[in-house]
Structure 1
Amino acid sequence: MTLIKSISGIRGTIGGRVGDNLTPLDVVKFSAAYGQWIKTQRNKDNYKVVVGRDARISGKMVQSLVMQTLSGMGIHVVDLELSTTPTVEMAVTLEHADGGIILTASHNPKQWNALKLLNKHGEFLNAEEGEQILKFVEEENFEFSEVDDLGKITYHNAYIDLHIEEVLKLDLVEVERIKDAKFKVVVDAVNSTGGISIPPLLDMLGVEVVKLYCEPNGNFPHNPEPLAKHLTELSQKVKDEQADFGIAVDPDVDRLALVDEKGNMFGEEYTLVSIADYVLSRKKGSTVSNLSSSRALRDVTQKHGCTYHASAVGEVNVVAKMKEVNAVIGGEGNGGVIYPELHYGRDSLVGVALFLSLLEEKQMKVSELRQTYTSYFMAKEKIELTPTLDVDSLLNQIQEKYKGEDMTTIDGVKIDFEHNWVHLRKSNTEPIVRIYTEAKSQEEADALAQRFIFELKELTNS
């Protein structure tokens, strides 16, 4: 059982002891710290925070604690109830709110939950803001409102519909052409809020929808991370239904994975790559992904005569870089698409709409589309940390050893060799060093990862 406090929020397993797990007391303390932080941002009479949740079983309990705590601090709450992470992000700006909280543990199993915190722009907090909230949690010097000044809680159940409307208004979403194409798609929403957002979007686009686990009851039928080994039923259903492709999203609907008409994974990394290909064909500009994402995005960006940029790992870092370079598309290689014309957050709804627009334009099957992109293969390994292991020293030694190579050190150490790359970084959430590699074959990627595991262990023992 686990409780993890970090600059991006608090997450943990439900039940157990205070301070060791995500208990009601931990939820209240973290909510109060966030409320206190909200009040330091602007001096005003009325504060407003948007709160929504995915469908996991503990969500209603956790959301009630969060909202009542904020109310106790005199902060008004807009309750979206069941929602998606990108929907909450958009609602913050549409409500002119001071912030937002999403109750979701993303792809973690059902015993987990988390509070993800947003600023007034509907974007995740940066490191400095996160540190301020952690300090408030530690001090526990909270000030609550008197009885006449309690915040009001207002229920608003239309934001998923509003989110869909905003997606359909986008210039690059070819609504009528998609309708004419008569696509058939299978959707696996892992019994969370993808089931009340993705099918309605597809309905508005005239797509025939076959639902698989679209009941938002929080009983995840399989591991909720949208990886090939967890999506065997979706793959089979696509073939059985002779569908054009399959869609899988994680419980809070910010990661989009696709399955081709043969039941094969399109590849999470290639969700962003293909959508960037479409966007850049219509609108030239820079692209951004994090250092651990596929080189394929750089390839497709350069194909369109545009410039690719890499950021440190983490959505907040990707967004910051996108703003810096005025990127037209960006995201993360885990299926997270950020389209700034809509909002600065990973969003499966806009990803689906843009992918359908691309597919209609290309007039080819999903498997054929995938063959138009260079194939890269990744390996993801890790080394457990011990209390005596000096990670910074290890990474400095690797940096010195490979100083003649193309290297980036904004987040750990990434070494770009001619035909492959390796990225070594200390995890922000677990006591491990992550080792990511990419190459033109799985065997080469695996071998490169094992080589650096060996080198790190050698340095540890030297």
Structure 2
Amino acid sequence: MTLIKSISGIRGTVGGAPGDNLTPLDLVKFTAAYARWLKETAPDKGKLTVVVGRDARLSGEMAASIVEGTLCGSGIDVIDIGLATTPTVEMAVTGKGADGGIILTASHNPKQWNALKLLNARGEFLNDAEGRRVLAIASADDYVFPEVDALGHVTERSSYDREHIERVLALELVDREAIRAAGFRVVVDAVNSVGGTVIPALLRELGVEVIELNCTPDGKFAHNPEPIPENLTEISARVPAEKAHLGIVVDPDVDRLALVCEDGTMFGEEYTLVAVADYVLSHTPGATVSNLSSSRALRDVTQKHGCHYTASAVGEVNVVAKMKETGAVIGGEGNGGVIYPAIHYGRDALVGTALFLTHLAKTGLSASALRATYPPYYISKNKIELTPDIDVDDVLRKMKERYAQERIDDIDGVKIDFPTQWVHLRKSNTEPIIRIYSESRDKASADALAEKIIADIRGIVGK
């Protein structure tokens, strides 16, 4: 597997040859590059501090030891918060007054993967220019490390879970009493990663009865960790068997939230953000943002509240930038990523859980009944493989021309917005493919739209 280097971090499979996989040498190289970038951004500050946290995957302890040692060897102090969710590390950066953060997690990828996710002093992912600078430093490979008296140290080893939970509970729109009064019984599937401790702890603070499923944070993923329906058969059976009101599923680093209705059906990852936004907008009207590949349902709900919706390029850093630009009160991504700026600018399943349960409690509806109140859409996710000699940018340009009479958005690939459906075409940064996401009112229509677009592309390529 080729090591994947992008502005959002470095990820790959553990072991193998350096440069082709995520090896100890690669961990040192890119951590040292990040350390040098941090020093460039604050040349007069003196000793800098970085927060390090990790999910529970099997390679996490090894990777954390190397990363912390490299930071100290680069003259940077380390605050080690141990097993921690991605949003917990983000909040710890600002909460501890640190200069940056590194999260060791490959998110929803299987156990053989790990990654370095890099944060700035705001606890947010690096933007395009910052990420490219880190990669340029790593490519130059001309490091000079400080001498012994200037080495960094691990200054603190302590969990930040409690602080994160307390911040969520303190949110004005989180109604602990309403949730407690509802008497919710909830099954939690945390795929044996860090969500297995923090999500049940949050729920119990909210007065929820918790049934734990795959909540031992040992990194032995009980199923494919991406929280999509085909991987959630166990919890979808367990929720109705336990007569639970809801199932809560998080990925290994707990920035994505998927929900299971009381009858075992999926609430739908796309609709996690939709439901939370509906609740937030009913109390604090304002703008919303999601990425171009997310469901139109958020736009519909936003307009129902008389508010303005904007789409951003794909990627959390792009969503956050657009949220700041528009002053959005809620935003995120259709993969179950809820970003609520009242607490911080990052996808956060703890925040999503607390806001969703408040909404569910106040409506008095079952999860399936609440889901039925939202516009019905279905997203079909496809890709088309191309030979390396094909100019993907030229293919996208010709597709844009072919559908010029429709509403077109080209900030990230080409999105063609039809009156009742849409399709989004994006080229991959790592392989010769075009990703094709289409949405319509039902599966058959979404699939048919995707098939039509694929046929169009094959026609262009064949010319």
Q: Is TM more than 0.5 here?
A: yes
Aligned-partner SS, 1:265: coil
Q: Offset of 1:429 from its aligned partner?
A: 4.1
SS at match of 2:438: strand
The alpha-carbon deviation at position 385 of structure 1 amounts to 3.2
Equivalent residue letter for 2:440: A
The equivalent of 1:140 in structure 2 is 141
Between the aligned partners of 2:431 and 2:160, the Cα distance in structure 1 is 34
Aligned to 2:309: 308
Amino acid at match of 1:10: I
TM alignment of 1:94-243, pairs within 5 A: 94-243=95-244
Q: For residues 11-410 of structure 1, what are the structure 2 equivalents within 5 Å?
A: 11-43=11-43, 44-410=45-411
Which whole-Å CA distance do the structure 2 matches of 1:321 and 1:360 have between them? 31
Shift of 1:144: 1.0
Aligned equivalents of 1:81, 1:138: Cα separation in 2? 29
Q: CA RMSD in A?
A: 0.8
Q: 1:95 is matched by which residue type in structure 2?
A: K
1:274-304 deviations in whole A, cap 9, x for unaligned?
Answer: 0000000000000000000000000000000
Structure 1 residues 46-90: Cα deviation after superposition (integer angstroms, max 9, x where no partner)? 100001000000000011111100000110000011000000000
Amino acid at match of 1:195: G
Looking at structure 2, the residues matched to 428 and 91 of structure 1 have their Cα atoms a distance apart, in angstroms, of 31
Cα deviation code 1:340-387 (max 9, x no counterpart): 000000000000000010011100100100000011001111112322
Asked whether the equivalents of residues 82 and 159 of structure 2 are also in contact (C-alpha less than 8 Å), the reply is: no
Q: How far apart, CA to CA, are the structure 1 residues paired with 2:13 and 2:386? A: 22
Q: Which whole-Å CA distance do the structure 1 matches of 2:60 and 2:433 have between them? A: 29
Q: Deviations over 1:252-290 (max 9, x none)?
A: 000000000000000000000000000000000000000
Please give the alpha-carbon distance, in whole angstroms, between the structure 2 residues aligned to 1:446 and 1:403: 22
Assess if the C-alpha contact under 8 Å between 1:287 and 1:309 holds in 2. Answer: yes
Cα deviation 1:128-163 (Å, max 9, x = unaligned): 111101100100111211111110113332311100
What is the aligned partner in structure 2 of residue 444 from structure 1?
445
**Letter in structure 2 aligned against 1:119:** N
**TM-superposed deviation, 1:403:** 1.1
Q: TM-score if structure 1 supplies the norm length?
A: 0.99
Distance 1:416 1:349 in 2: 33
Equivalent residue, structure 2, for 1:3: 3
C-alpha displacement at 1:181, in angstroms? Answer: 1.4
C-alpha contact 1:6 1:429 (8 A) present in aligned 2: no
Q: d(CA) in 2 for partners of 1:92 and 1:199?
A: 24
Q: Is the 8 A contact 2:388 2:432 kept in 1?
A: no
SS in 1 for 2:394: helix
Residues 391-430 of structure 1 correspond to what in structure 2 (within 5 A)?
A: 391-430=392-431
Report if the CA contact (8 A) 1:330-1:339 is conserved.
Answer: yes
CA deviation string 1:415-446 (max 9, x = no partner):
10011000001123443210000000100100
3-state SS of 1:197 partner: helix
Q: Which amino acid aligns with 1:28?
A: V
What one-letter code is carried by the residue in structure 1 that aligns with 2:375? T
The answer (yes or no) to whether the contact 1:54–1:82 under 8 Å persists in 2 is yes
CA contact (8 A) 1:81 1:155 kept: no
Count of aligned positions: 462
Report SS of the residue matched to 1:368.
helix
Q: How many percent identity over aligned positions? A: 64
